[in-house]
Chains A and B, each alone.
Chain A
Amino acid sequence: MSKPTPLREVHESLGATLTDFAGWLMPLRYGSESAEHNAVRQAAGLFDLSHMGEIFVTGPQAGQALDHALVGHLSVLEPGRARYTMICAPDGGVLDDLIVYRLPGGEYMVVANASNYLKVAEELTARSAGFDAEVDDRSEAYALVAVQGPRAAEILATLTDADLAGLKYYAGLPGTVAGVDAFIARTGYTGEDGFELFVAAERAVPLWEALTKAGEPHGLRPAGLSARDTLRLEAGMPLYGNELNAGLTPFDAGLGRVVKFGKPGDFVGRAALAALKDVPPRRRLTGLVARGRRVPRHGYPVVLSVDGTVVGEITSGAPSQSLGKPIAIAYVDTEVSGGLAVDIRGSHEPVDLVDLPFYRRCM
């Protein structure tokens, strides 16, 4: 039985198609997912992301504990800033990708994927054992609502006195939004400007309703997981379980920059990652654009057009609204530079290699 978010009744009243996602009952779409996708690109979208995990790490050695548990250097993170990082297994495999926020009081909030947060909380607890730090999984107590799109700042500004103009990308500050206490972060997963609002679960409904009302004249629409997935795919952002998994290291995924070997002390996975750092990976993550209209999807083989030799595998694929063609992310053998097709249920459909991301917003 999937867990409902605090906004379940709101989604139902909006006629959402609900789906199980990582154990949560989530809105897949409210109407047309393409219209939701386009609203985020052109105006704004409102997302319920309450399935994400919020794990707090507090105490005098919270930063050192995270330096040991994660591959990033979190003890130097300034209060009010956020960082993209990963938690790895001792063998260097990625257990989850995370955004870590340092709150103004100095404590840390680790935001983990819905599919992984129980495991992440467990690992953080175990890895903090030798440190004067407390790990507290508050995922059920928090709701997360995101406003994303070029009009997001304008919409949010009508509901808060917080200094949004002074809030940089990957930064956050506490504030009140429509009378609801929130941690306001300028982060997102859509390739657009936008905000993620962390609030007490019981305040999610009034916050959602206020944002809906304030956003209406600006073209804001509620947007489901389907649009979220196509938006992040166009923006070339990895999704755990697709582009990342425990069998891959950050280097395999082309994200080796998140591993901070220069930080003091040992960290889980250091030895394994140090040994793998300079080994050229067999495959690299790349973008593919289909020439035809059939959609390459997760798990489909990438083959050489000339003889059908398998040279890669699709990790994510979808029709792209912004390009008007199907797009995909795939792991492809590093020596291959073209002449590719995707085996779509037995038929080899030609694709072109392109650099990620597929879509970059106009600044």
Chain B
Amino acid sequence: MSSIPEELSYTKEHEWIAGLDDGPVVTVGITAYAAESLGDVVFVQLPEAGSTLQPGEAVGEVESTKSVSDIYAPIGGEVVEINEFVVDDPSLVNSDPYGEGWLFRIRVSGDPEDLLTPEEYTTLTTTDS
């Protein structure tokens, strides 16, 4: 099992959020645990830049050899940037889920709900496997 970065926040849907304390724009990706569960990611569909997301809404898809999973907005706000590199090379989600495999950036409006600390996320992924 890969380690879970300490500086990120997590969701029950196996996404991570970076930069919550640093300003209005946060970065979203899926966790190494999710990437490993999916297998080789072959297609990523992301929300459009400029679109407004409601928290908890399904906004995209991650598709692997064997399955498809929705991407949810972990927080409400406007999409300010999407990772074009991951669209071109979805395997970045597997090779570097917390780095080059990031998915999109949101200018946050409103408060996040139900985020998990690294400790809580570790508990989640070690008890439901």
Contacts and interface: CB of A to CB of B under 8 A. Distances in A.
Interface of A: 17, 28-29, 32-34, 226, 229-230, 293-295, 297, 318-319, 326, 345
A34 B40 contact: yes
Given A28-B66, A34-B65, A319-B65, A295 B40 contact: no
A296 to B, nearest CB: 11
B42 interface: yes
A21 to B, nearest CB: 12
Interface of B: 36-37, 39-40, 42-43, 45, 61, 63, 65-66, 68, 94
A294 B65 contact: no
B39 A33 contact: yes
A295 B39 contact: no
A226 B39 contact: yes
A168 to B, nearest CB: 33
Of B36, B37, B42, B43, which is in contact with the most chain A CB atoms at under 10 Å from its CB? B42
A319 to B, nearest CB: 4
Contact of B42 (A297, A319, A345): A319
A297 B68 contact: yes
Contacts of B42: 293, 295, 319, 326
Contacts of B63: 294-295
Contact of B66 (A226, A293, A345): A226
Contacts of A29: 39
7 contacts: A29-B39, A33-B39, A33-B65, A229-B66, A230-B65, A293-B42, A295-B42
Contacts of A32: 39-40, 94
Contact of B40 (A33, A293, A294): A33
A293 B43 contact: yes
A293 B41 CA distance: 11
Nearest to A224: B39
B83 to A, nearest CB: 16
Lowest 10 CB-CB distances: which A-B pairs, in order?
A319-B42, A34-B40, A293-B43, A33-B65, A33-B39, A32-B40, A226-B66, A33-B40, A226-B65, A295-B63
Contacts of B61: 345
Contacts of B43: 293-295, 319
A345 B69 CA distance: 12
Given A28-B66, A32-B40, 10 more contacts: A28-B39, A29-B39, A226-B66, A229-B66, A295-B68, A297-B68, A318-B65, A318-B66, A319-B43, A326-B42
B90 to A, nearest CB: 8
Contacts of A226: 39, 65-66
A17 B39 CA distance: 9
